[in-house]
Structure 1
Amino acid sequence: MKNYFSSPFKLGVLGGGQLGRMLLAETQKFDVYTAILDKSLEAPCAKKCDEFHQGDLLDFDTVYNFGKKVDLLTIEIENVNIDALDKLEKEGLTIYPKPSNLRVIQNKASQKKFYKDNNIPTADFNHYAYLEELKHSYENDIIDFPLVWKAARFGYDGNGVKVVRTIDDLESLPAGECITESLIPFKNELAVIVARNTNGESTTYPVVEMEFHPEANQVEYVICPARINDTVAKKAQEIAIKVADAFDFVGLLAVEMFQTENDEILVNEVAPRTHNSGHYSIEASYTNQFEQHVRSILNLPLGNTESKVAGIMVNLVGAEGYTGNVFYENLEDILRIDGVTPHIYGKKTTKPFRKMGHVTIVHEDVNKAREIAQQVKETVKVISK
């Protein structure tokens, strides 16, 4: 077993946002030396890591040169230069998740095709090289509304996704490559995080339920355990493992799913990294998702994914109508509530719907935790002053 702890080993991370910041809490716990690459000197990781490099994650030379400085490379965001990763991998650098996985996942069209090719249940879809092609399909009665439009690349936090009900809805969309999907009537949006190491050993976290903000199309609450029956939960976990095995994935894979009206499970999309749907695990699980990611990519024994207690995560996002230096209104009020833990990401500037932090609520009763989560959501306001 290689010695990663208090040693010259250097772990490189592409991306220095809040996911990287929470990952650093675990690398520091293990005393794993960590270097971060991010375009912003104000990134949440900038002052927390052992070594910080400023640079564009989509620039070939920047990513390649950073990779030459580390012993193993991982990501906290998937929008990175894959060509540079391919070259680094050919030259012998260990990279998890693998560049071949990232290349598929980066593009929603190739991701959906991957599911179809591997008999993984997913919504029917159409692929268009550009928006005019989609309009042409509608005008020729090949497709009909309503449908879900998704940009093939660079979508995040609800950006790059829109429900299209009329031809007018198409006019404001970007012109580039996209997919459309059938609008699925569903009971719940679920997620399962799979951890998988280089030995092919895997484990899943409990199924979580996600409640979305209706306007921002952004996760507002993550509820663990999901309020679903055991049969549906088992099916969701089995499908998540099937996805990870199909990719031969190493690391943490978040699999987002729909539970249909008929209790079928359809894979929506995956994130090849730690994920918003796993933040609850910092307080509620025996092994949180960030520690598990470190264990997975270093091929260490995987930790216990069970929950000690029910956990609910509330996203703290910038309030509408406020842009500027951030101020967290009434944060001290929620600190008076038992089982409530805020996480502030260190972003100094807020804007509407920007993720600025999250709050975890733990309680033996998931329904009581959900009540407290609502109270937290109504109390804390992320504004500017």
Structure 2
Amino acid sequence: MANYFSTSFTLGILGGGQLGKMMLYDTRKFDIKTHVMDPNPDAPSKIAADFFETGDLMDYNQVLQLGRKVDVLTFEIESVNVEALETLEKEGKKVFPSSATLKKIQNKGVQKQFYKTHQIPTADFQLFNSKADLNEAIIRKEVSFPFVWKSLTGGYDGKGVSVIKKQEDLIPLPDVACMREELVDFKNELAVIVARNVAGEIKTYPVVEMEFHPTANQVEYVLSPARIDDAVAQKARDLAMKVSSSFEHVGLLAVEMFQTSEDEVLVNEVAPRPHNSGHFSIEASYTNQFEQHLRAILDLPLGATEQKCAAVMVNLVGEANHQGNVFYENMEEIMRLPGVTPHIYGKRETRPFRKMGHVSIIGENIEKARSLAQDVKEKIKVISR
């Protein structure tokens, strides 16, 4: 086994946002040297990386140059140049998750076709090259309302997704390659984090339940463990393992799912990296998701995924009418509450619904933690001053 600790071994990370910053906590814990690239010269990861450089993650040459300076390359965001990753792999560089995995996930249409090919249950869908093609299909009555519209690329945090109830709802949407997805009658949105190392060892975290903001289409609360029957939880974990094995990914894979009204479990989409739905693990799990990602990509033994206690995560997002230098109102008040830990991402400027941090709330049972999370959500405000 390679010696990664207190040596010249260097881990490269493409993307320097909050996920990269939180991953760096664990590289610091293990004394693993890091080199991070991000387009933002003041990216959150800058504070904790051994080497930080400003660069375009979609630029072939810049990604190639960074990859050649490091021993293993990973990423904390899917919008990176896949061709550069492919070249690096041909040169013998270790890239995890692989370019082949990322290629199947970056485009939501390719991702959905992949599920179909591998008989992974997912909502019914149709793909369109443009808005005009979709409008034509509606006129020909090949598409009926309501449905979910998704942009095939570039969507995140609720962007690139809209519920379409009538044809006029399409007018403000961009003219891009898109998908019509069946509107699923679900009772819960669930997620499972799967870890898989280079040797093929695989583990899943407990199923989490996600509560969404009604208008921003962003996760507001993540509850772990999910308040669902054991049989449904087992079905979700088994399905997540099937998805992981099908992608043959290395690292972390966040599998987002719907629990239907008939208790079937459908895969919505996946992210091949640490994920918002796994932040609860920092305080509540034996091995947090960021350490687990490092263990997986460095082919170290995977850590235990069991939870020490119940946990709820609250996303801290910018208030609707605020833009400018950020101020966290009532921070001291929430820090007086038992089991409450804020995580501030290091973004100096707030804007409406921008993810600025999260708060973990741990407790002896999920109902108490959820109630405390409500208090936190009502007290803390992310505003500008």
The match for 2:223 is 223
Report the Cα distance in structure 2 between the residues aligned to 1:110 and 1:339, rounded to whole angstroms.
42
Correspondence list, 1:166-315, <5 A: 166-315=166-315
Structure 2: gaps spanning 5 or more residues: none
| 2:78 is aligned with 1:110 | no
Query: C-alpha displacement at 1:46, in angstroms?
Result: 1.1
The match for 1:150 is 150
Query: C-alpha displacement at 1:253, in angstroms?
Result: 0.1
The match for 2:86 is 86
Report the Cα distance in structure 2 between the residues aligned to 1:305 and 1:217, rounded to whole angstroms.
28
Residue type matched to 2:144 in 1?
Answer: D
Q: Structure 1-normalised TM-score?
A: 1.00
Cα deviations by residue, 1:87-114 (Å, 9 ceiling, x for unpaired): 1110110000000110110000000000
Report the Cα distance in structure 2 between the residues aligned to 1:195 and 1:305, rounded to whole angstroms.
9
Report the Cα distance in structure 1 between the residues aligned to 2:67 and 2:291, rounded to whole angstroms.
22
Residue type matched to 1:62 in 2?
Answer: Q
Report the Cα distance in structure 2 between the residues aligned to 1:155 and 1:56, rounded to whole angstroms.
18
The match for 2:20 is 20
Report the Cα distance in structure 1 between the residues aligned to 2:358 and 2:117, rounded to whole angstroms.
37
Report the Cα distance in structure 2 between the residues aligned to 1:201 and 1:360, rounded to whole angstroms.
29
Cα deviations by residue, 1:309-354 (Å, 9 ceiling, x for unpaired): 0010000000000000000000100011000000000100000000
Report the Cα distance in structure 2 between the residues aligned to 1:109 and 1:66, rounded to whole angstroms.
29
SS in 2 for 1:327: strand
Structure 1: gaps spanning 5 or more residues: none
Report the Cα distance in structure 2 between the residues aligned to 1:262 and 1:120, rounded to whole angstroms.
17
CA RMSD of aligned residues (A): 0.4
Correspondence list, 1:119-138, <5 A: 119-138=119-138
The match for 2:60 is 60
Query: C-alpha displacement at 1:160, in angstroms?
Result: 0.3
The match for 1:337 is 337
SS in 1 for 2:44: coil
Query: C-alpha displacement at 1:380, in angstroms?
Result: 0.2
Cα deviations by residue, 1:289-308 (Å, 9 ceiling, x for unpaired): 00000000000000000000
Provide the identity percentage. 60
Report the Cα distance in structure 2 between the residues aligned to 1:377 and 1:35, rounded to whole angstroms.
35
Report the Cα distance in structure 2 between the residues aligned to 1:201 and 1:134, rounded to whole angstroms.
43
Query: C-alpha displacement at 1:47, in angstroms?
Result: 2.0
Residue type matched to 2:158 in 1?
Answer: G
SS in 2 for 1:45: helix
Report the Cα distance in structure 1 between the residues aligned to 2:101 and 2:171, rounded to whole angstroms.
33
The match for 2:33 is 33
Query: C-alpha displacement at 1:365, in angstroms?
Result: 1.1
Query: C-alpha displacement at 1:53, in angstroms?
Result: 1.0
Give runs of ≥4 in structure 1 deviating > 3 Å.
Answer: none
Report the Cα distance in structure 1 between the residues aligned to 2:231 and 2:260, rounded to whole angstroms.
14
SS in 1 for 2:20: helix
Report the Cα distance in structure 1 between the residues aligned to 2:64 and 2:145, rounded to whole angstroms.
44
Residue type matched to 1:246 in 2?
Answer: S
Report the Cα distance in structure 1 between the residues aligned to 2:291 and 2:144, rounded to whole angstroms.
45
Report the Cα distance in structure 2 between the residues aligned to 1:262 and 1:57, rounded to whole angstroms.
42
Query: C-alpha displacement at 1:121, in angstroms?
Result: 0.3
Report the Cα distance in structure 1 between the residues aligned to 2:49 and 2:319, rounded to whole angstroms.
29
The match for 2:377 is 377
Query: C-alpha displacement at 1:148, in angstroms?
Result: 0.2
SS in 1 for 2:23: helix
Q: Structure 2-normalised TM-score?
A: 1.00
Query: C-alpha displacement at 1:130, in angstroms?
Result: 0.8
The match for 2:354 is 354
Query: C-alpha displacement at 1:366, in angstroms?
Result: 0.4
Report the Cα distance in structure 1 between the residues aligned to 2:283 and 2:140, rounded to whole angstroms.
53
SS in 1 for 2:46: coil
| 2:72 is aligned with 1:72 | yes
Residue type matched to 2:24 in 1?
Answer: L
Report the Cα distance in structure 1 between the residues aligned to 2:182 and 2:365, rounded to whole angstroms.
36
Cα deviations by residue, 1:109-131 (Å, 9 ceiling, x for unpaired): 00000000000000000000111
Residue type matched to 1:143 in 2?
Answer: V
Report the Cα distance in structure 2 between the residues aligned to 1:365 and 1:292, rounded to whole angstroms.
25
Query: C-alpha displacement at 1:85, in angstroms?
Result: 0.6
Cα deviations by residue, 1:120-178 (Å, 9 ceiling, x for unpaired): 00000000011110000000100111000000001000000000001110111110111
Report the Cα distance in structure 1 between the residues aligned to 2:42 and 2:384, rounded to whole angstroms.
18
Residue type matched to 2:243 in 1?
Answer: V
Cα deviations by residue, 1:23-53 (Å, 9 ceiling, x for unpaired): 0000000000011000011100112110001
> Aligned pairs, how many?
385
Report the Cα distance in structure 1 between the residues aligned to 2:7 and 2:155, rounded to whole angstroms.
38
Query: C-alpha displacement at 1:8, in angstroms?
Result: 0.8
Report the Cα distance in structure 2 between the residues aligned to 1:273 and 1:147, rounded to whole angstroms.
28
